Amino acid sequence: MSVLLEAIHVKKYFPIYGGIIPRVVNYVRAVDDVTLSIRGGEVVALVGESGSGKSTFGNIVIGLMKPDEGRVLFEGRDIYSLKGPIKKEVRHNLQIVFQNPDSSLNPRMQVASILSEAIKEMNPELSKYEVIEEVLKLLESVGLNPDHAYKYPHELSGGEKQRVAIARVVAMKPKLIVADEPVSSLDVSVRSQILNLLMDIQAKLNAAILFISHDLGVVWSISDRVAVMYLGRIVEIADTEELFNYPSHPYTAILLNSAPLLTNMKKVRSEYLKPIGEPPSPINPPSGCRFHTRCPLAKEICRREEPSFKEVSNGHYSACHFIDKAPFT
Amino acid sequence: MSEKILSIENLKVYYYLHQGVVKAVDDVSLDVFKGEVLGIAGESGSGKSTLAHAILGLIKPPGIIVGGKIIFKGIDLTKLSQDEMRKIRGSKIAMVFQDPNTYLNPVYTSGFQVAEVFEAHNNMKIVDAIKSKVTEIFRLVRIPEPSKRVYAYPHELSGGMRQRVLISIGIASRPDLLIADEPTSSLDVTIQAEILSLIKEIQSQIGMAMIFISHDLGLLYEVSDRIAIMYAGKLVEVGKAHDVIMNPLHPYTKALLESVKYTRKSKLPVIEGAPPSLINPPSGCRFHPRCKYATDKCKIMEPKLKTIDNRVVCCHLYGD
Amino acid sequence: MDERTKVIIERLQEARKTQMLLMWARFKANIGALIGLILLSGIILMAILEPILPLEDPLAFNLGKSLEPPSLSCLFGRDEIGRDILSRVVNGAKYSLGIAFLSVVLGSSIGLVLGLISGYYGGWIDNIIQRVTDVLLSFPTLLLSIALVSVLGVGLTNIILSVGISTIPVYIRLTRSLVLQVKSEEYVTAAQVIGKSSPYIIIRHILPNVLSPVIVQSTYYMGLTILIAAGLGFLGLGVQPPTPEWGAMIGAGRTYIFSSPHVVTFPGLFIFITALSFNLIGDGLRDALDPRVRVLIKKVKI
């Protein structure tokens, strides 16, 4: 499939103000030169811990935050310099499912109103009754029954709210969906229901998904490719099975090692692979390779020189001075 | 067989709300043995946090301990006065909660807050405590430069450090029992792993018993000796960690474990429905609406706890 | 059109009605609010029925009966030029209520709009509006209204304008901080992502979620504006004599406060009751409009 969305050398710095006369004293380098392309219909997972910049990147991709440098191209067009009807079309095609279902639904609107808003945006000519019919169809497609239509968000469970949020996205028939930790706030027994729903929707719409998560088990299950972020940069990217079985970057290996997993996934067992110390702040990232302060394998060159992306194998890239197909197994 | 340090017998904790009575903990019996780590697993509404609060004597109206006993070293905690409970809480039974941002006071230094334990229970002066005891504890929990960090304010510390401060408050008085309620949930996965191994190390060093509450079964598997599973205010299964995770008996445990067995590119196993309301819980076995194996009996009769080979399970499948 | 759809549409309307009923139930649960409502209704009723009530002419004076104390025939007594205080109080109700209501409507609508714009759009327009608000807020509301009266002059309409305008800064501040909170909620972002325009989002999403505290603030302000109007009247800057505005009545009668207290007591009492009832209603509305308020049931015998 062809490339749907391309983020090219995207940077986003948040200014920090200080001093008696407020001026910019420093920047939080939330996203610091990220290039990523997403093909139509593929599921790309973006993995990282707090401070990695993954959520900020998600916001930039979806058109909510203009990057300070770099461009985001959707079907070849720069989404931040569009005007006119094409702007609307692109806007409709980029949708997002938020982490917290409580705050993503207006507490004063009934489910039907929430969904009508999206339906009317796509089909402004529909009559009031036709809209309600569409609402009922939407509810069914996300596993809710018609009686949910007249409920208010506070009358729904977390899983049900998230289904409504997903229904709202489906109404827009987007080509790209950013899912930002869509199940992290939900009960464990409900998560797999919602993930299955998300995958169904993805298949039906043949939409691409940028799946932002810190849950490696879910990533293993649903994604085609995985990009690992650390302190505003992508440190490794590969097809999912390749990444999990043959991680090349030490940070990826440590991440895989740290997650308590019960799956029959291959667990990377390397006793000495533990991170050293605390994560540095994105305000003053370390010199050279950003991970060198915590990397148990760091050498002199890691402190001096920033590693560039090297190809490990087909489609598998890692930003480390010492790439090897599988140094950790 | 080591001795019991805590024995919960038929505990019932109900909340009287305007919509009805929430039976948060409904007839739960559980033992904790000296020096062991007991993991309690459950989702929201399972009652695990209420249970922790009940042990610590922190249940306030509209919540009431309606029945049962909590026997700690021979004393029934439910019968103690607030003052008597205060002497035990923080010294003999201590806790580590989830979010260091809400449980640490931003206007006091971290050393001060740990020293408060000594001031309250050992009658030490804060200043003395900070210099001697607190610095030592910070070293124990592997906070770098402990003698300097005792003067740091919570906002000057990272998330992992703050959690170590919370742990310090918990272990300061070398308690007999430490209750940790989702202590690593707010942390990044790499820090989580460190804190987890730290907790395990300290627990065996001090020799205290620990109740570790989490919704993450993988976590509990790594840290617990025994695991208890709670659902909708009831205890459904208890056993050795390895047994419960590798060979679960109760359908809920089985389903929960299935749902996190992430297999590559296939539909995830699902537990239909959602955790029930505790005001109007389902009749009979509370899990029956979501259970693959439910029979008519399950809809009418509540199963009783059964002991099979050192394991406890509450399900009609195992005979009645 | 489907049968099923019809049913759902009905239920949609029913659900909305139920929400209203729940609001009323939460309001009712507050005893103070009920009392306030009853009191205020009484006073409003009094003002409405005034033309048909058997009262003396509030302007008719009778120097012979000056300062007559309250008696069975003249319940509230007479003022210094013999006018019947009861009829003046009843007559004055409409002025106080009118000032309270109209000035608050004026102030809140302008303040709301400015606060919405300031909060949602931010940037230079927010800056300008906020700096002006800063200046206005440095004056106590009473002082601000006095300043405005000195510019606009006395008289009923000018009172309404002055008092109304003096409430605007607080509304702007209140609305703006609420808007900032609501703006950060994800459902607002969701509406932006769907592609809705800013004016739509402000009216459909921000406004309804900002309205409740503004309404509550308005009821408190209605109580306050009565006091301010009364204060202005007392100072002689408000409604001019012989119009029986309560504050003006106290002002005019202040020399007799110790000798013939009934001249000031009754208008003062009514000012107090009216302002109080607005405040009580405000408390009730605050609970009623917050869907998260839970009312505890009575303690159950175990």
Number of domains making up chain B: 1
CB C294 within 8 A of CB B17: yes
pLDDT band at C292 (very low <50, low <70, confident <90, very high): low
Inter-chain touch A63–C209, beta carbons under 8 Å: no
Mind telling me how many Å the CA of C97 is from chain B's nearest CA? 37
Q: A183-192, B191-200, C157-166, C235-244: lowest mean pLDDT where?
A: C235-244
Query: What integer pLDDT is reported at residue B227 of this predicted model?
Result: 95
Contacts of C among chains (3+ CB pairs under 8 A): A, B
Cα separation, B168 vs B170, in Å, equals: 5
**What's residue C291's pLDDT?**
65
C192 CB neighbours in chain A (<8 A) are 64
C25 Cα to chain B: minimum distance (Å): 13
pLDDT in tens, C83-96: 888 888 998 898 88
Mean pLDDT of C262-287: 90
| Interface contact A172-C194, CB threshold 8 A | yes
The chain B residue lying nearest A187, using CA atoms, is B43
Question: Containing domain of residue B313, as a range?
Answer: 36-45+82-92+173-318
Nearest Cβ partner for C209 among A104, A108, A152 = A108
* Domains annotated on chain C, with CATH: 77-289 (1.10.3720.10)
pLDDT for residue C282 is more than 60: yes
**Amino acid (one-letter) located at C274:** T
pLDDT over 70, % of chain C: 96
Q: What's the number of CA atoms in the CB half-sphere (13 Å) around residue A231? A: 19
At residue C299 the predicted structure's pLDDT band, cuts being 50, 70 and 90, is very low
B147 within some domain? no
- In this predicted structure, the answer to whether residue B156 has a pLDDT above a threshold of 90 is no
Tokens representing A131 are 């809209």
C-chain CB neighbours of B62 within 8 Å are 296
Pick from B142, B257, B260, B290 the residue to mutate for testing the A interface (most A CBs within 10 Å): B260
- Partnered with residue A12 across adjacent β-strands are A31
The residue in chain C having the minimum alpha-carbon distance to the alpha carbon of residue B67 is: C302
Residue A288's region, left for phi above 0, alpha for psi from -120 to 50, else beta, is left
Q: Provide the terminal-to-terminal Cα distance of chain B, rounded to the nearest Å.
A: 27
Chains touching A by CB (3 or more pairs below 8 Å): B, C
Asked if the structure places residue B166 within a domain, the reply is no
Question: Which residue in chain A is spatially nearest to B195 when comparing CA positions?
Answer: A258
Q: Determine the pLDDT at residue C297.
A: 39
- Got the DSSP string for C83-152? -BHHHHHHHHHHHHHHHHHHHHHHHHHHHHHHHHHHHHH-HHHHHHHHHHHHHHHTS-HHHHHHHHHHHH
In whole angstroms, what is the distance from residue C70 CA to residue C269 CA? Answer: 15
CB contact under 8 A, B189 and A50: no
Q: Is pLDDT larger for residue A185 or for residue A277?
A: A185
Model confidence over C35-69: pLDDT tens digits?
999 999 999 999 999 888 888 887 888 888 888 88
**Which structure tokens are listed for A81?**
């310099």
User: Which strands, in side-by-side order, build the sheet including B234-240?
Assistant: B93-96, B177-181, B209-214, B37-41, B226-231, B234-240, B311-313, B306-308
End-to-end CA distance of chain C: 54
Across residues A159-181, what is the average pLDDT? 95
- Tell me the CB-side half-sphere exposure of residue C71, using CA atoms within 13 A: 7
- Name the pLDDT band for A264 (thresholds 50, 70, 90): very low
Distance from CA of A94 to the nearest CA of B (A): 24
Q: Cβ separation of A192 and B188 shorter than 8 Å?
A: no
Residue B233 lies in a domain: yes
Q: What is the mean pLDDT of residues A61-76?
A: 94
To the nearest whole Å, the CA of B123 is away from the closest chain C CA by: 39
Predicted confidence (pLDDT) per residue in A278-308, tens digit: 777 778 888 888 888 888 888 888 888 888 8
Query: In chain C, which among 196-235 make CB contacts under 8 A with chain B?
Result: none
| pLDDT tens digit sequence for C155-199 | 788 888 988 999 999 999 999 999 999 999 999 999 999 999 999
Looking at chain A, which residue has its C-alpha nearest residue B271? A189
In three-state secondary structure terms, C165 is helix
Check if A172 contacts C (Cβ < 8 Å).
yes
ipTM over 0.95: no
Q: Residue B43 is nearest to which of A188, A222, A257, comparing CB atoms? A: A188
Query: Which of B275, B270, B301 has the alpha carbon at shortest distance from B22?
Result: B275
- Residues β-bridged to residue B4: B33
Query: Which chain C residues are closer than 8 Å to B17 by Cβ?
Result: 294, 296-297
Residue B287 lies in a domain: yes
- Cross-chain CB nearest to A217 (options B262, B271, B272): B262
Query: The domain spanning residue B276 has which CATH number?
Result: 3.40.50.300
Residue type, A244: F
Of C196, C208, C209, the CB nearest to A121: C196
- Interchain proximity C5–A88, CB inside 8 Å: no
User: Confidence band (pLDDT; 50, 70, 90) for C296?
Assistant: very low
Considering only residues B319 and C121, tell me which one the structure prediction assigns the higher pLDDT. C121
> Token pair of C302, please?
């175990």
- Within-domain flag for B161: no
pLDDT of residue A188: 84
Which of chain A's residues have a Cβ under 8 Å away from the Cβ of C213? Answer: none
Interface contact A106-C205, CB threshold 8 A: yes
Q: Residue B116 domain-assigned?
A: no
- Among C259, C293, C232, C235, CA closest to C103: C232
Q: What is the pLDDT of residue A73?
A: 95
Helix C31-49 with C85-121: angle, nearest 10 deg? 120
Q: Are the beta carbons of B189 and A264 separated by less than 8 Å?
A: no
Residue B117 lies in a domain: no
What was the pLDDT predicted at C1?
59
